[in-house]
Amino acid sequence: MCSAKEINASPNPEEVRQKKIEEYRKKYANPYIAAKLGIVDDVSDPRETRIKLVQGLEMLKDKKEERPKKKHGNIPPRLYAKSTVENEIAASQTVEKKLEQSKQQKPLTKEEKLIQHFEAITHRELLEDLSPSGKASIDEINMITDIMEQHGLTQPVMNVLIDYVLKRSSNKLNQKFIDRVAASWSREGIKTAKEAFKVAKRDYQQFKTGKQKQPTRKQSARKGVVPEWYDEQKKKQEEQYLKPSKTASKEDIEKKQEELEAFFKQFK
């Protein structure tokens, strides 16, 4: 290589320039240098282009590329299912710690075990545990996630809330009811599963007592306005029915009167 200054300083600049251009083409401006460096796989003659393309396509027609599996999709990491790698690693790391703590502590009550369970799982895992198929609805998971983030509730508190709502609503997750309870608990400043469990027990007890005290409504008999023609017709029928005949005795008249009164009583 030489600079423009060297070319211009030579006795015949144009001849030197053409010479250098030819050297550059031979050394760099050809596909063989790229093939030598591994930049291209093959160098083919232009007349063989069609044949090379057909051969390449035939070789790749049955190719199947298997990409590595993704660790997760578009679901936030805190909502991974129990089978994901992250949860398995986290579980394996905490098993030994929990075993050591359980040996040192006294036996837990049923309520304490439930609170501990709510603190260790996500609401997706809770729904999967409660589902017979072991799968949770993505729509319900997203709905609960939005409400939890909107009201600033922690994951353990949200788990207790879901358990409470399912007991109140016969295993149904009503969005408006969940939102109303979440707003109430957020105003009360519930931060832990223990606090949430205490509030849930209080609200559920109030719900049960209020349901028992609720008075039953009795259906009142409808009393309509009797038209005037009905009274007139009734009076005429009574007079005609009670009109004594030549052969009728006093006992027959009283009997007919009782039958007539019994007949009209059914219309009152």
**What are the tens digits of pLDDT across the range 17-39?**
888 888 888 887 778 888 888 88
The reply to whether 249 falls in a domain is: no
The reply to whether 55 falls in a domain is: yes
**Helix and strand totals (H; E) in the chain:** 13, 0
| 120 and 207 belong to one structural domain | yes
The reply to whether 266 falls in a domain is: no
Which of the listed residues 59, 79, 98 is the one where a domain comes to its end?
59
Predicted TM-score of the model (pTM): 0.43
pLDDT tens-digit profile of 208-253? 777 655 555 555 445 555 667 667 777 776 666 555 554 556 677 6
| 38 and 113 belong to one structural domain | no
Cα(191)–Cα(232) distance, rounded to whole angstroms?
Answer: 76
Amino acid at 73: G
